[in-house]
Amino acid sequence: MNQEETLKETEQEYAARMEELRRKMERVNDPNYLPTITMNELYENVYQSRPPVIDGLLRTGTYLIAGAPKVGKSFLVAQIAYHVSTGKSLWGYNVRQGTVLYLALEDDYQRLQERMSRMFGVEGTDDFHFTVWAKPLSDGLPEQLDGFLQEHPDTRLVIIDTLQKVRETTGENYSYASDYDVIGKIKQFSDTKCVCLLIVHHTRKQQATDQFDMISGTNGLLGAADGAFLLMKENRNSNAAVLEVTGRDQQEQKLHLIRDEASLVWNLDRVETDLWKEPEDPLLRQVAGILTAENPTWEGRASDLGQVLKTDLQPNMLTRKLNVSRGKLSDQYHVQYDVKHNKNGSFITLTLTV
């Protein structure tokens, strides 16, 4: 296919896309209209990625961390928060540095001061923020969190300690629907703002075949969340514990931890399951390879990029491949990928971010 035929085909595809968009805009006023997208349209879109907060352990989204009272949950989330705020690796897991907000709603500032200094010494950071009071979820908490995020747009992690302190007050027993709804509201916020919300909660005393069924409340809590951490001790007087991890976007893990008696910091003893690592994509490595510190930006059509990469992929297929790999390009290769469509095809911008 020569260049003239390729351009003609691209113009036809663009015209068809615009016509379909026009028809959808006409139908949207119908109260019974159900908006859908096709598989091809799905691949044509570029969605905001869900970057890891801690590689292999914690991602953007909403997570529960549950355990028995006084098992050490608050020490564990404080440790996670400190490592994210400083960017220091945690138990060998790579950490993406960012601002952290810790809602320590069962503590006071004097207790927090004592705990933080015992765990981490007196060298602090301005990227780790605390509060011991917040509004309920139904009475202003999302607005409070949104205000903080506007002041601190680099926020990666928000910790709510505990769920009971922010959920709606009611005299009725909690149902699956109410549990699902409360986590669903928090998840909607985390997804919209692209941050990680880590919620501290309790377990019940009854044992269960599935350990995560021990989370207090109904399965609606875990059903609505993106994942959960379960911190358990076989013996309350022991300094050893097991941290089980499950989630939609990560591999299930079981980490054996030992708490240092002096600092009360949790140290990793061993991991039962090795993390599966996705093989490197040669195409993405090639894309990253065309950017350098001297030339950190590349702009051009998809067909131009195909020629630079010397790939057999058609321009539209190359664009789709990069659309679905936007998160990997950013996380693994520090390349920001942007694309715009016009009648002449796809115009791509690649930017090195380190």
pLDDT of residue 204: 64
- The pLDDT tens digits for 297-318 are 999 999 899 999 999 899 889 9
Q: How many CA atoms lie within 13 A of 116 on its CB side?
A: 21
Tell me how many degrees the CA angle 204-221-111 measures, rounded to the nearest 5: 65
Percent of the chain with pLDDT over 90: 53
pLDDT of residue 211: 63
The total of other beta-carbon atoms located within 10 Å of residue 236's CB is: 8
Closest listed residue to residue 14, CA positions, set 342, 346, 348: 342
C-beta separation of 259 from 72 below 8 A: yes
Confidence of residue 22 (pLDDT cuts 50, 70, 90): confident
Confidence of residue 156 (pLDDT cuts 50, 70, 90): very high
Element (H, E) at 3: helix 3-27
What b/e readout covers 181-200, taking b as 16+ CB neighbours within 10 angstroms?
Answer: bbbbbbbebbbebebbbbbb
CATH fit for domain 3-47+280-352, picks 1.10.3470, 1.10.10, 3.30.1490, 2.60.40: 1.10.10
C-beta separation of 319 from 311 below 8 A: no
C-alpha span between 304 and 346 (Å, rounded): 10
> Which residues does 132 contact at the CB level (< 8 Å), separation at least 6?
104, 105, 107, 108, 109, 112
Mean pLDDT along residues 45-64:
88
pLDDT of residue 74: 93
Confidence of residue 146 (pLDDT cuts 50, 70, 90): very high
Residue 80 per-residue DSSP state:
H
**What is the Cα gyration radius of the chain?**
24
* Strand order through the sheet with 253-259: 128-131, 99-104, 155-161, 196-202, 61-67, 227-232, 240-247, 253-259, 266-271
pLDDT of residue 286: 94
Mean pLDDT along residues 76-105:
96
- The pLDDT tens digits for 107-139 are 999 999 999 999 999 999 999 999 999 999 888
Whether pLDDT at 210 is above 70: no
Topology of the domain comprising 52-271: Rossmann fold (3.40.50)
Mean pLDDT along residues 76-86:
97
Closest listed residue to residue 238, CA positions, set 212, 263, 257: 257
Q: Which amino acid is at 269?
A: D
Domain ranges across the chain: 3-47+280-352, 52-271
Whether pLDDT at 284 is above 80: yes
> Which residues does 265 contact at the CB level (< 8 Å), separation at least 6?
75, 79, 119, 259
Which whole-number Å values give the CA distances from 24 to 30, 37, 41, 192, 203, in the listed order? 10, 10, 13, 24, 48
Whether pLDDT at 161 is above 70: yes
Contacts of range 309-314, beta carbons closer than 8 Å, 24 or more positions apart:
309/283, 311/283, 311/286, 313/283
C-alpha span between 150 and 323 (Å, rounded): 28
pLDDT of residue 88: 96
Cis before 311 (ω within 30):
no
Which whole-number Å values give the CA distances from 4 to 8, 9, 10, in the listed order? 6, 9, 10
Mean pLDDT along residues 6-31:
71
Mean pLDDT along residues 254-268:
94
Whether pLDDT at 154 is above 70: yes
